[in-house]
Structure 1
Amino acid sequence: MLISVVVYNHKLTAGQWIGTGIVFAGISVEAWVKRKDVHAKRVAQEKEKAKIKGL
């Protein structure tokens, strides 16, 4: 959508820009939460591996 605005010089109203901002903010938050969850799982796996090696 943003490419369309830039390349084809389409105009967006203030409300449409706000909506676009909300959409991209939501996508960013979703990606951040997913990345955080993946990191937490990796840390837990590394702790588990350390316990196994310690035995």
Structure 2
Amino acid sequence: MGEMVSLAFTLEKYSDEILCDVVPMEATHVFLGEVSEDQLQMKIKREKKQKEQREKREC
């Protein structure tokens, strides 16, 4: 390992500091199963807002 970082934390009255290795990593989305209802509602709302904005620009 090349880089290290000192991480201080507190849990109620307990405080401590630990030394951690820094490793490269890649973050990505993983879709497991079906799209949730919240995601569908957000998509519908976003598309409606985009449509309204396009219509305002055309006027």
TM interval, shorter chain, is 0.3 to 0.5
More helix by share: 1
Give the alignment's TM-score, normalised by structure 1.
0.45
Give the structure, 1 or 2, with the largest relative contact order (CA under 8 Å, sep 6 or more). Answer: 2
More strand by share: 2
